[in-house]
Amino acid sequence: MPSNDYNDPKVEAQWLAKQRDSVQRYLQDEGIRHRGVATDPAWFLAPYVSVWMVASMRTPDDIGWWAISGDLPTDYLSGADATDARTALAAFARRWREVSAYMLRDEHHPTVKIGPPENRRELGDLLGRRAEIIQEWADDDGMWD
């Protein structure tokens, strides 16, 4: 039986490899052009969340995108929306709170679609809870030493 001890470097490395693969597939499915996902995450807390830098297509040394994956929705945002992993995490939280509010009102968000319309309220609640958790992590100085 596989180990779920995320303090074990091998287990952690396997989880991170899976998250990076997930981000790469997601960006491809979304049609996002880039020069590659960083080999290592900019920040993570296994097995909950990982934040990845994605190289800009226009300027290879710049961050074109930030991506997030883990026990939460895989998502991305523009590199212009955040300067580092911490501000990226907070930016995801802000966007998810906004999208969640639409979903809880059973309304379609103008730019983000998550799940089928009949599950909008249930998924909106889950998204809102994930947003609160990642905002707490972004706000916690102890998480960023």
pLDDT-based confidence at residue 1 (cuts at 50, 70, 90): very low
For the segment 30-81, what is each residue's pLDDT rounded down to a tens digit?
999 899 999 999 999 999 999 999 998 888 788 999 999 999 999 999 999 9
Q: Which of 45, 80, 86 is nearest to 65 (CA)?
A: 80
Residue 121 to residue 48: CA distance in whole angstroms: 23
The whole-model pTM stands at 0.92
Whether 97 contacts 125, CB under 8 Å? no
First to last CA, the chain: 34
pLDDT single digits (tens) 75-108: 999 999 999 999 999 999 999 999 999 999 999 8
Mention every residue, 6+ apart, whose C-beta is less than 8 A from residue 15: 6, 46, 47
Q: Which two tokens stand for residue 20?
A: 């990076």
pLDDT given for residue 2 in this prediction = 47
Does pLDDT of 109 surpass 60? yes
